[in-house]
């Protein structure tokens, strides 16, 4: 049985139709190429976006600690004779007394050469200029109510409140500054600790320097 | 010839690509950065942090009594507790480092235990967690010598262990990480066994625990039911055998 579409059309018509078909195919191939370029581009952008989002979301300690000052090449010797002199107030590290100061909350000044040894064991030392308002002091006491924390007043420090770990120090103006908690989370027994695992109990609460 | 199947328009393809790309990006991001480890608020991390602090006081008290008596049984027990718990503190601290988490908590102590149906224990003011000795008790242990120090140590450590076992049970109940669950189980066994040992040692010294131990531990405590398995425990096993 003859098929109606092939029965009687002329050769010219057939060629024109074929040409038209080829042009159409070329155009759609072009479109496909453009589209696939877009597809790849958008996919890459989305992929990078996904990765960056994850990367940002995964840091648990968080907080902006860019104001933390770092100190290197700190002495680690045990010295009993005389009193070590420290360039920072309060000291951020250096030679210290063989006895560490027991972690806890103190309302009197504590000897730096003992406290520095506690820093070496991973303690964070919160200090404040004497005369800090009671409400602010209570906020610091709450922050210091965990293991490996020292809290004490320090006369003559150049900021109302400071947070100190071995080789690290942050100065803040207010007890409400959330960077204090960020500092504790990052540096309390943090990676900068020279002697991780050493205790912050069983040391001394008495000044043992001669 | 039939018409070709209707194709997606260019904008359709782009929308499709955006969706696929986002899904792929999220998946890849997850593969690359997702915590394959317990998170900051997990029971595993909470257990590691709280048990470390709890252990620290057990080590402290053990070191104190070792300097205050020559009794070989007490010195041996204290040495066992100090070395095994200090080792476990190191294990737990290392987990936190491996998990990329701070040693300091994000919130309150014991928040991770909320889902655990635990026995309540007295917690005097100034004591951070159940079972821990007060500063006054630590001061008293520090100033005691000889048998008085032994008895006080055994009583304080029994209280400490009873709460320690309870926290370890919570770790076993709520922890997901196999290492955490394994260590928590070893703690339950070792500390339960030591509570029994210390009860006997207190009786030998004409004293007794401050708590009703059998009421707290129950008749089916692991140490009571399977004493033989304890000696095969590689960690925290005590020297009673």
Identify the H or E element spanning B166: helix B146-174
- Quick one: closest CA in A to B85, which residue? A197
A101 has which bridge partners? A204
| C-beta atoms surrounding B108 within 10 Å | 9
- Arithmetic mean of pLDDT, B8-30: 78
**Lowest mean pLDDT: which of A69-73, A107-111, B234-238?**
B234-238
Is position B194 within any domain?
yes
Q: With 80 as the cut, is the pLDDT of residue B219 above it? A: no
- Quick one: closest CA in A to B26, which residue? A50
Distance spanning both ends of chain A, measured CA to CA: 121
Taking CB atoms and an 8 Å limit, are B10 and A34 in contact across chains? yes
Name the percent of chain A in helix, strand, coil, to the closest 5. Answer: 35, 15, 50
Is position A75 within any domain?
yes
Q: Residues B182-209: pLDDT tens digits?
A: 999 999 999 999 999 999 999 999 999 9
pLDDT of residue B74: 97
- Quick one: closest CA in A to B56, which residue? A199
SS3 B215: helix
- Arithmetic mean of pLDDT, A50-55: 70
On whether the CB atoms of residues A166 and A120 are closer than 8 A, the answer is: yes
Q: With 80 as the cut, is the pLDDT of residue B6 above it? A: no
Q: Identify whether residues A78 and A46 lie together within a single domain.
A: no
In chain A, what percentage of residues exceed pLDDT 90?
63
Residues of B in contact with A54 (CB under 8 A): 26, 29-30, 32-34
Angle (deg, nearest 10), helices A134-143 and A179-187: 30
Beta strands at A161-165 and A124-128: parallel, antiparallel or unpaired: antiparallel
Residues of A in contact with B100 (CB under 8 A): 58, 60
Is position A45 within any domain?
yes
**Lowest mean pLDDT: which of A20-24, A101-105, B79-83, B116-120?**
B116-120
Interface test with chain B among A60, A141, A204, by most B beta carbons within 10 Å: A60
- Quick one: closest CA in A to B86, which residue? A197
- In this prediction, residue A32 has a pLDDT band, given cuts at 50, 70 and 90, of confident
Q: With 90 as the cut, is the pLDDT of residue A166 above it? A: yes
Better-predicted residue by pLDDT, A2 or B48 = B48
A8-12, A80-84, B92-96: range with highest mean pLDDT: B92-96
- Arithmetic mean of pLDDT, B15-37: 78
pLDDT of residue A33: 83
Mean pLDDT of chain B: 86
Q: Identify whether residues A48 and A74 lie together within a single domain.
A: no
Domain carrying residue B199: 43-103+131-230
- What is the number of structural domains in chain B? 1
Q: With 80 as the cut, is the pLDDT of residue B178 above it? A: yes
For residue A85, give how far its alpha carbon lies from the nearest alpha carbon of chain B (Å).
30
**Alpha-helical segments (H) within chain A:** 11-57, 112-120, 134-143, 179-187
Is position A196 within any domain?
no
Q: Identify whether residues A89 and A178 lie together within a single domain.
A: yes
Is position A46 within any domain?
yes
For residue B231, give how far its alpha carbon lies from the nearest alpha carbon of chain A (Å).
28
Better-predicted residue by pLDDT, A29 or B155 = B155
On whether the CB atoms of residues B67 and B90 are closer than 8 A, the answer is: no
Q: Identify whether residues A128 and A29 lie together within a single domain.
A: no
Q: With 50 as the cut, is the pLDDT of residue B78 above it? A: yes
Taking CB atoms and an 8 Å limit, are A54 and B53 in contact across chains? no
pLDDT of residue B232: 37
Q: What is the CATH number of the domain that holds A126?
A: 3.40.30
Q: Identify whether residues A32 and A83 lie together within a single domain.
A: no
Query: CB pairs below 8 Å between A and B: how many?
Result: 115
Domain carrying residue A149: 69-187
Residues of B in contact with A61 (CB under 8 A): 102
Q: Identify whether residues A25 and A117 lie together within a single domain.
A: no
Is position B29 within any domain?
no
Is position A9 within any domain?
yes
Q: What is the CATH number of the domain that holds B93?
A: 1.20.1260.10
Is position A204 within any domain?
no
Is position A205 within any domain?
no
Identify the H or E element spanning B149: helix B146-174
Interface check for A14 against chain B (CB to CB < 8 A): the answer is no
Is position B185 within any domain?
yes
Q: Identify whether residues A115 and A18 lie together within a single domain.
A: no
- Arithmetic mean of pLDDT, A167-186: 97
Q: Identify whether residues A35 and A139 lie together within a single domain.
A: no
Q: Identify whether residues A95 and A149 lie together within a single domain.
A: yes
Q: Identify whether residues A83 and A183 lie together within a single domain.
A: yes
Distance CA A157, CA A138 (A): 20
Is position A105 within any domain?
yes
On whether the CB atoms of residues A50 and B22 are closer than 8 A, the answer is: yes
Q: Identify whether residues A83 and A46 lie together within a single domain.
A: no
On whether the CB atoms of residues A181 and A200 are closer than 8 A, the answer is: no
- In this prediction, residue A77 has a pLDDT band, given cuts at 50, 70 and 90, of confident
Distance spanning both ends of chain B, measured CA to CA: 90
Is position B16 within any domain?
no
* Backbone φ, ψ for residue B240 (5° rounding): -70, -30
Is position B17 within any domain?
no
pLDDT of residue B118: 64
Distance CA A190, CA B103 (A): 7
Residues of A in contact with B52 (CB under 8 A): 147
**Lowest mean pLDDT: which of A28-37, A49-58, B201-210?**
A49-58
Residues of B in contact with A50 (CB under 8 A): 21-22, 24-29
Q: Identify whether residues A24 and A100 lie together within a single domain.
A: no
- What is the number of structural domains in chain A? 2
For residue B157, give how far its alpha carbon lies from the nearest alpha carbon of chain A (Å).
17
Distance CA B60, CA A147 (A): 13
**Lowest mean pLDDT: which of A106-110, B24-28, B132-136?**
B24-28
State the virtual CA torsion across B180, B184, B190, B195 in degrees, nearest 10.
150
């Amino acid at each position: 049985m003859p098929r109606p579409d092939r029965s009687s059309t002329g050769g010219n018509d057939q060629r024109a139709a074929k040409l038209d078909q080829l042009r159409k195919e070329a155009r759609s191939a072009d479109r496909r190429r453009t589209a696939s370029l877009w597809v790849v581009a958008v996919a890459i952008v989305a992929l990078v976006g996904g990765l960056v989002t994850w990367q940002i979301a995964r840091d648990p300690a968080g907080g902006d600690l860019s104001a933390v000052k770092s100190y290197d090449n700190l002495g680690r010797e045990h010295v009993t004779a005389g009193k070590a002199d420290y360039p920072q107030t309060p000291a951020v590290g250096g030679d210290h007394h063989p006895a560490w100061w027991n972690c806890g909350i103190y309302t009197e000044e504590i000897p730096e050469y003992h406290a520095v040894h506690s820093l070496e064991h991973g303690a964070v030392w919160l200090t404040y200029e004497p005369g800090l308002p009671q409400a602010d002091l209570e906020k610091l006491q709450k922050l210091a109510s965990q293991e490996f924390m020292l809290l004490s007043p320090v006369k003559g420090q150049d900021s109302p409140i400071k947070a100190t770990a071995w080789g690290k120090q942050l100065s803040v103006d207010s007890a409400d500054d959330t960077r204090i908690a960020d500092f504790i989370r990052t540096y309390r027994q943090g990676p900068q600790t020279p002697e991780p695992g050493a205790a912050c109990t069983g040391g001394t609460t008495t000044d043992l320097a001669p | 010839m039939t018409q070709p199947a209707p194709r997606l328009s260019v904008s359709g393809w782009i929308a499709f690509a955006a969706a696929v790309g986002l899904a792929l990006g999220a998946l890849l991001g997850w593969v690359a950065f997702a915590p394959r480890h317990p998170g900051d608020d997990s029971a595993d991390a909470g257990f590691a942090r709280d048990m470390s602090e709890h252990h620290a006081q057990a080590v402290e008290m053990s070191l104190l009594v070792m300097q205050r008596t020559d009794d070989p049984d007490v010195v041996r027990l204290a040495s066992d507790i100090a070395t095994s718990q200090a080792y476990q503190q190191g294990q737990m601290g290392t987990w936190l480092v491996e998990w990329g988490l701070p040693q300091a908590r994000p919130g309150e102590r014991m928040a991770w235990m909320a889902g655990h149906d635990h026995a309540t224990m007295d917690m005097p003011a100034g004591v951070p967690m159940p079972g821990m000795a007060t500063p006054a008790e630590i001061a008293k242990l520090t100033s005691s010598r000889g048998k008085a120090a032994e008895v006080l140590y055994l009583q304080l450590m029994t209280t400490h262990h009873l709460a320690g076992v309870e926290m370890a049970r919570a770790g076993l109940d709520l922890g997901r990480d196999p290492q955490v669950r394994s260590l928590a189980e070893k703690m339950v066994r070792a500390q339960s066994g030591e509570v029994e040992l210390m009860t006997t040692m207190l009786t030998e010294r004409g004293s007794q625990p401050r708590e009703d131990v059998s009421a707290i531990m129950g008749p089916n405590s692991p140490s009571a039911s399977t004493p033989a398995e304890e000696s095969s425990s590689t960690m925290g096993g005590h020297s009673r055998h």
